[in-house]
Structure 1
Amino acid sequence: MSDDTQTTLGGGEAAIDEGDDEDEPRTNDFGDELGEHETRGGYSRYTVSSLLQKAVRRSDEECAAWAAWELTRSGYAWNLWDRLALYVVEDLRAGDEVVLLVHRYERLANDHWSPEEWEGRLCAIHAALAAARATSTREATYANDYFERVAQERAEARRAGREPADDFPVGDLEPGGEFDVIFDQHTYEGAKMDRNGRYFTVHGARVGPEGESDLGERWRRRSLDLDDREYTDAERDHALAPVDPKNRWTEPDPSGDDEERE
């Protein structure tokens, strides 16, 4: 094994970074002194950063990996991690675990190693590949833009004394409306309607559309057996029935649910 390599975890060899002499000017691959915001390959870091984001959106793994490598080896690892943190919330599907992976790789690159070391570059490449392989969507970005525009339209419509051209998906959120079930003991309106713990248990705590797991349902039924309140079989079944995916907010008439039972 040569003096400038070391054995890696997998048994191979990797070059050891000697580090740049701080007294010497940094140069690009062609021996020219690096310009402001220039990468070692002779590109603008802004251009490479833009490429990285589009590569993540378009699931181009190779371009994403190269962009991460180029930014990191050029001293712009901070820029890479800053942008990846944005991309995972702006360009990827909600709920994807890639956000945790990217965060973990960043911690490894900065806390366990150094971004200037070869291990730091590997972390950057791993993170970029993970992001590029995740499901791409800008749904959160579009949701934010749409809701902002609707808020502006509602305000303008009120000032003009007209009906808005569009509205929030929840309307006015009033008792008796489509979302009546939300008015339980945890809201002022629900408390005024005496919708106590029984109402919440039977109606407000339902999940769906998959419903509870077998284990969750068994625990819930046993818990209701030990509850101070008594529940009918119909109430128990409804409390654990999955929400209808085609009619998520409709509940049976709750009248009488809150009456005390012996």
Structure 2
Amino acid sequence: MAQSQLLGPAEIRELAAELDVTPTKKLGQNFLHDPNTVRMIVAAAELEPDDVVVEVGPGLGSLTLGLVDTVSRVAALEIDPRLAGRLPRTVAERAPEFADRLAVINTDALQARRADLAAVGAEPTALVANLPYNVSVPVLLHLLAELPSIRRVLVMVQKEVADRLAATPGSKVYGVPSVKAAFYGDVSRAGTIGKNVFWPAPNIESGLVRIDVTSGHPRDLRDAVFPLVDAAFAQRRKTLRSTLAPLYGSAADAEEALRAAGIDPGLRGEKLTVDDFVRLGEARRGA
């Protein structure tokens, strides 16, 4: 099977110059220019030929080229109209056999809707992306909520964010992103990426996060569970009896709910698993 011609540093700079694109911090742009890193990301995602991938922030097309020759369809969400306009031609030039597998949607990923993907014939089974670092967690959680067909996630984020997403109860970095990501499935670290595979090189290392999306927790519980998670970590030094009091009306009512769910009211939020929060959410919704 033919393979895409991946982009290297020279090609990235040529494309940027052609489009008069200067990477901006506001859009979280750091263009990936190392073919080996692209291959590593695609391999870590363990995609199948019939997968439909949604990619966020394809930029100049480095990862896109690594995806189109691997899966049946790639729906790329790109906020910058210049980049969105050039991407189909880049794929046609460097992966002509697979150009018809690409659909580009010029939109902010935080505003993307399931209907937008359906309009281009995509019911995504996977999210694979080098996420814009300034909005990585909001974008990840939005797309997991909006696209219930996704079964696999492999995203690149800041290393510290990767650590938080994959953290387990009791660790110092376990918090809101950890619990909310775990609500959707099994979260794990899938590697660390150095600075020099990007142009411009960021000041931080990056990390790969993989989520194997399971149907363990009913999606319709999210609105009952997530406010509990936000409240539990809003004041990390306080006990759950105290932090959840505003949601239940009083500390006494919060304590009663916690005890009914088999949770010690004297614990802090960082000790609770996603299953604990789900039990609380189920009881709260049913009350």
Report the TM-score when normalising by structure 1: 0.31
Is the radius of gyration larger for structure 1 or structure 2? 1
Structure number having the greater strand percentage: 2
**Structure with greater contact order relative to length (CA < 8 Å, sep ≥ 6):** 2
Report the TM-score when normalising by structure 2: 0.29
